[in-house]
């Protein structure tokens, strides 16, 4: 049997992945092209946003292991084989990278470093009031691997962190590292008391467009939104209106409705928007290959797979 | 006896300090003007960069307690009474603020957030290689209260941190929270192996101009300098040359030869220079007043003063 690496990777990325995956699974045949494989022999697909239809015509397929953490694009492919288990990438190195990005954004918001950058551009010298970390209330939405890593890291720096999860979410089974609330009714009071809101929810039909005019209006006046999850969580026109009215002071955005962010999009030149190119937590082949290899070994040994996607819930 | 609050404070700051100091020392008479005091009765001066000559004509003076951490400007005043003990401000809240600024700068350098800001200004979408914290070698120069707080905070985030102190420095008596070396001969090898150099040295005749062309050339090519100490540590023309040649990729500067940084100074518009308005760690009257009060009580009780300045060493 053999393994098919498939997805939106440029030549250098494909080489890095093949090298890392082959090193992590020396006994396996792994190729990035079906021309080098017998499709009837492919029982595992390792995927990184594969183009729709990529996984058709693989009759022996028994596992689709995503190399990316988010699987919303994968699940949107109607040709995805229905009966085959899917697994997400859950890599502690990736969670650590996400926690670093969140911490950088929260430090910058607490201490005024985005404002100082605007002042530098204007040639203005003005120290701003200095807030302590224990004066900042931070909400972390989503308490999966990423959300918990972020919440724990922020709490360790002295921030007052509260978590939130959807009602009936997958993460409800695990203990959160910070005080947490659950369900739609708990969201508005949490937002109203938070200086910074960090979004790490999965993108599902229930969370799509969560940050619309109504939700943004429920936030504390002058608060900041840090979106590290998916662009479709945010109604971009509503966010622009909330920034224009002063309801929100700053948005730090790693993800967008359309990626790459199109030329001329108002976010690019907006003084209160920080644009990151979907780089808050990139999968690192060096560590992620070992995570994928563990699931490959589990499948081969007939053991339980880790990080299986619940297709009903969408993550 | 009474206490004279004296220094470069605007009206709002003066009020905040008076309020915090009076709350911390309810039994003391504290005024911000000599017109409200009998100069012969002033035995303690609480100072924040007092104009030269401010402490003349106070025959009963027995303690000059700085409200700022750095005392280089105070010591440069030739009229400073010679026999009176000086004390620096050593406030854990201020050290925490400094550690936050250093962590923000190091995170931004590690993860490319300064580069992403340049890309945003250019409308460019491009993820950059993602480095792990344990791949970053960070040097912290100066291992006093501030340097130790910074080194410990960075080490706790997984960075590979090494400290450096001058030979015969005051901090040699205390244990450093990270591996440390000492003296001029140890500096060049440390710089050559460091991706990021954070300067927290005191400004003394020995450290003035430390970052000149020779020192900058000894740094690792492509490294970054974070100066959170004093502007006079850096020869600004040499730093600009090191950035122009590509020897250094980025400088994060909180302090400058002339402050406020003059209009038209090349740092303002330099794409590889981050200008902060001497705000890396502002003294917070709420916590610093208690530190000053402890020394006032010590003086009144005839006990040893904390954080005395060694005038020979200059800090």
Which residue in B97, B101, B120 is closest to A275 by CB distance? B120
Tokens of A23: 């090193």
Looking at A62, A278, A300, A313, which residue is catalytic? A278
Q: Which residues of A touch B150 (CB under 8 A)?
A: none
Q: How far is CA B199 from the centre of its chain?
A: 9
Q: How far is CA B159 from the centre of its chain?
A: 22
Residues for chain B: how many in total?
315
- Rounded to a whole number of angstroms, the distance from the CA of B279 to the nearest CA of chain A is 6
Residues for chain A: how many in total?
315
Which residue in B111, B120, B278 is closest to A104 by CB distance? B111
Q: How do residues B59-89 score in pLDDT, each as one tens digit?
A: 999 999 999 998 999 999 999 999 999 999 9
Residue A130 near chain B (CB below 8 Å) = yes
Compute the average pLDDT of residues B254-263. 98
Residues 6+ apart with CB under 8 A from B81: B55, B56, B58, B61, B64
Confidence grade of residue A26 (pLDDT, cut at 50, 70, 90): very high
- Rounded to a whole number of angstroms, the distance from the CA of A39 to the nearest CA of chain B is 33
pTM for the full model?
Answer: 0.94
CA distance A67 to A89: 5
Using the beta-carbon criterion (under 8 Å), do B133 and A107 form an inter-chain contact?
Answer: no
- Contact yes or no for A197/A187 (Cβ under 8 A): no
Using the beta-carbon criterion (under 8 Å), do B117 and A117 form an inter-chain contact?
Answer: yes
Kindly tell me the burial class for residue A258, based on how many C-beta atoms sit within 10 Å of its own C-beta (0-12, 13-18, 19 or more): exposed
Residue A12 near chain B (CB below 8 Å) = no
Residue of B16, B123, B136, B274 to mutate, testing the A interface (most A Cβ within 10 Å of its Cβ): B123
- Contact yes or no for B34/B50 (Cβ under 8 A): no
Q: Which of B85, B213, B54, B198 has the alpha carbon at shortest distance from B137?
A: B198
Residues 6+ apart with CB under 8 A from A50: A6, A7, A8, A74, A77
CA angle A109, A225, A129 (to 5 degrees): 25
pLDDT value at residue A64: 97
Compute the average pLDDT of residues B128-138. 97
Q: Which of residues 272-291 of B touch A (CB under 8 A)?
A: 274-279, 282, 284
Residue B126 near chain A (CB below 8 Å) = yes
pLDDT value at residue B167: 81
Could you tell me where the beta strands, DSSP code E, fall in A194-278? 196-199, 223-227, 248-253, 273-275
pLDDT value at residue A171: 72
Q: How do residues A105-116 score in pLDDT, each as one tens digit?
A: 999 999 999 999
Rg for chain B, CA atoms, rounded? 21
Residue B13 near chain A (CB below 8 Å) = no
Q: How do residues A237-246 score in pLDDT, each as one tens digit?
A: 999 999 999 9
Tokens of A115: 């404002």
CA distance B68 to B65: 9
CA distance A103 to A159: 10
Element spanning B43, H or E: strand B42-48
CA distance B117 to B113: 6
Using the beta-carbon criterion (under 8 Å), do B96 and A126 form an inter-chain contact?
Answer: no
- Rounded to a whole number of angstroms, the distance from the CA of B122 to the nearest CA of chain A is 8
- Rounded to a whole number of angstroms, the distance from the CA of A91 to the nearest CA of chain B is 13
Residue B107 near chain A (CB below 8 Å) = yes
Residues 6+ apart with CB under 8 A from A18: A5, A30, A31, A32
Q: Which of B100, B59, B65 has the alpha carbon at shortest distance from B81?
A: B59
Residue B97 near chain A (CB below 8 Å) = yes
CA distance B107 to A108: 11
Confidence grade of residue A312 (pLDDT, cut at 50, 70, 90): confident
Confidence grade of residue B174 (pLDDT, cut at 50, 70, 90): confident
Q: Which of B147, B188, B146, B140 has the alpha carbon at shortest distance from B164?
A: B140
Does residue A116 come out as left (phi exceeding 0), alpha (psi in the -120 to 50 range) or beta? alpha
CA angle A130, B89, B207 (to 5 degrees): 100
Q: Which residues of A touch B110 (CB under 8 A)?
A: 100
Using the beta-carbon criterion (under 8 Å), do B97 and A263 form an inter-chain contact?
Answer: no
Q: List active site positions of B.
A: 230, 278
């Amino acid at each position: 049997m053999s393994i098919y690496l498939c997805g939106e990777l440029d030549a250098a990325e494909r080489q890095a992945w093949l090298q890392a995956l082959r090193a992590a699974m020396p006994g396996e045949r792994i190729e990035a092209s079906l021309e080098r494989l017998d499709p009837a022999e492919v029982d595992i697909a390792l995927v990184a946003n594969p183009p729709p239809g990529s996984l058709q015509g693989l009759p022996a397929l028994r596992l689709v292991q995503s190399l990316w953490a988010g699987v919303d694009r994968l699940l949107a492919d109607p040709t995805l084989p229905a009966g085959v288990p899917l697994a997400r990438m859950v890599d502690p190195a990736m969670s650590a990278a996400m926690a670093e990005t969140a911490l950088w954004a929260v430090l910058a918001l607490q201490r005024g470093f985005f404002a100082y950058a605007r002042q530098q551009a204007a040639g203005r010298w003005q120290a701003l009031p200095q807030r302590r970390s224990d004066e900042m209330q931070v909400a972390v939405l989503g308490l999966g691997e990423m959300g918990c890593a972020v919440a724990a890291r922020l709490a360790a720096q002295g921030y007052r962190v509260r978590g939130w999860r959807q009602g009936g979410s997958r993460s409800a089974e695990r203990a959160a590292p910070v005080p947490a609330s659950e369900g739609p009714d708990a969201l508005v009071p949490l937002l109203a008391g938070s200086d910074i809101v960090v979004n790490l929810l999965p993108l599902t039909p229930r969370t799509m467009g969560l940050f619309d005019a109504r939700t943004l209006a429920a936030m504390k006046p002058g608060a900041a939104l840090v979106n590290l999850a998916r662009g479709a969580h945010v109604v971009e026109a509503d966010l622009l209106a909330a920034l224009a009215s002063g309801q929100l002071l700053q948005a730090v955005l790693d993800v967008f409705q359309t990626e790459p962010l199109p030329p001329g999009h108002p976010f690019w030149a907006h003084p209160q928007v920080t644009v990151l190119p979907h780089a808050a937590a990139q999968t690192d082949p060096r560590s992620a290959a070992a995570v994928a290899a563990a699931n490959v070994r589990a499948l081969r040994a007939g053991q339980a797979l880790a990080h299986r996607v619940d297709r009903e819930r969408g993550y």
